[in-house]
Amino acid sequence: LNRRLAEFGTTIFAEMSALATRTGAINLGQGFPDTDGPEAVREAAVRALRDGRGNQYPPGPGVPELRHAVAEHQQRFHGLHYDPETEVLVTAGATEAVAAALLGLVEPGDEVVALEPYYDSYAASIAMAGGTRVPVTLRPHAPTGTYRLDLDELRDAVTDRTRLLLLNTPHNPTGTVLSRDELAAIAELCVERDLLAVTDEVYEHLVFDGEHLPLAGFPGMRERTVTISSSGKSFSFTGWKVGWVTATPALVTAVRTAKQYLTYVSAGPFQYAVAEALALPDSYYTELREGLRARRDLLADGLREAGFGVFTPAGTYFITTDIRPLGTSDGVSFCLSLPERAGVVAVPTQVFYDHAEAGAPYVRFAFCKKEEVLTEAVSRLRTLA
């Protein structure tokens, strides 16, 4: 393993899912739904396979049907106009989009500012691109049960070597949804310091309180933002690995140039199916959100009753908890022993931090699971108290 990757082992998601399989515990660790996405979309994939659409290399930027559907989706939900020919790129999930954006835009030694805790692929992707990560820590605020971004800390993190901000809203793992004022301030900072932004918006449709606003919609940001999303979260097909990027032609070219040599293309037949998924009526998106809201509330209430400190997420399908009321502040040991003690798997939030101590007493639970699974998990967790 080279020096750039030396600090990275097996991802926490693989590790915790393996632990769940080994122990037979309920897996509320890795974020994947236990119910597949819409039947009609699965049928669309079968049709594409059967009709021979996408069984051979699709076009590099993605099949035209999907690029058009992505552009229409950005217009319909966010009022953003993108040219499907030059401003949309299909990727192997959001993970590849993040990696290719960094590989295509970051010079060795450039600083990349990201909000900590962050999704685990960010640190590795920044490292692979030869960048230096500069974490800005979201701080838990117990009285409101939310995590907060300190805008002054963000401003102070920017130096002459900063190339870009890597943002994620709605935010995994804290469930924070950046507000209009926060995004406006971030946009101002990007314009003032001439920074690019890469925004990971995979949870754009999973917002329960407030609303999701794409950074690209703020003044001066359309031309300096690479926006990323994915069918994994919006349509519950995490295994299909169909994601996309929208940005100016120059930025898309930078991302595509890197992407060409990572995977070239992927998921041919699934691209056609996702094109149909994006065009689903508003009722689909509303039901997805409302179904998850009910499960968020079920798990949040249950965790509270079981004695956890709960940060109720405004978005995503994760709940971050404080385990100190249960008599420990070591999330890693807590999660390693949880399958045996309670038959449940969760993820220690610490693994998403550079400042490990800031994340030590927190543990993340996923609620994208069937109601009965969550109810059973909660009744098991109550035995901890």
Q: 8 vs 13, which CB is nearer to ligand GLN?
A: 13
As given in the structure block, the two tokens for residue 178 are: 């950046």
- Residue 230 binds to ligand PMP (criterion: CB under 6 A): yes
- Phi-psi category of residue 136: left, alpha or beta, with phi > 0 → left and psi -120 to 50 → alpha: beta
- Whole-number CA gyration radius for the chain: 20
Using CB distances below 5 to 8 A depending on partner kind, what does residue 30 bind out of ligand GLN, ligand PMP, none? ligand GLN
Is residue 30 near ligand GLN by the rule CB under 6 A? Answer: yes
Q: How many CB atoms lie within 10 A of CB 34?
A: 13
The residue among 218 and 352 lying less far from ligand GLN, judged by its C-beta, is 352
Task: Determine if 48 is a binding residue for ligand PMP (CB under 6 A).
Answer: no
CA–CA distance, 157 with 314 (Å, rounded to integer): 26
Site pattern 10..29 for ligand GLN (x: CB under 6 A): -x-x----------------
The pair of structure tokens assigned to 168 is: 């994620």
- Report residue 304 as tokens: 């509270």
Residue written as tokens 């109550």?
Answer: 382
Exactly one of 38, 93, 309, 361 binds ligand PMP (CB under 6 A); which one? 93
Cα 219 from Cα 339, distance rounded (Å) = 48
Burial label for 160, CB within 10 Å (0-12, 13-18, 19+), is: exposed
- In the complex, the smallest distance separating the C-beta of residue 348 from ligand GLN, rounded to whole angstroms, is 12
| Cβ 363 to ligand GLN shortest distance, Å | 13
The one of ligand PMP, ligand GLN, none whose footprint includes residue 13, by CB under 5 to 8 A per kind, is ligand GLN
Residues 146-185 that bind ligand GLN (CB under 6 A): 172
Q: For residues 373 and 268, what is the distance between their CA atoms, to the nearest angstrom?
A: 33
Nearer Cβ to ligand GLN (11/329): 11
Interaction of residue 229 with ligand GLN, rule CB under 6 A: no
Choose between 91 and 248: whose C-beta lies nearer to ligand PMP: 91
Based on the shown chain and the rule CB under 6 A, indicate whether residue 243 belongs to the binding site for ligand PMP: yes
Reply yes or no: is the peptide bond before residue 117 cis, omega within 30 of 0: yes
Residue 238 is a binding residue for ligand PMP (CB under 6 A): yes
Which residue's CB is nearer to ligand PMP, number 135 or number 232? 232
Residue 325, CB-side half-sphere exposure with 13 Å CA sphere: 15
Decide: is 95 part of the binding site for ligand PMP (CB under 6 A).
yes
User: Is the peptide bond prior to 33 cis by the omega test (within 30 degrees of 0)?
Assistant: no
Residues near ligand GLN (CB under 6 A) are: 11, 13, 30-31, 172
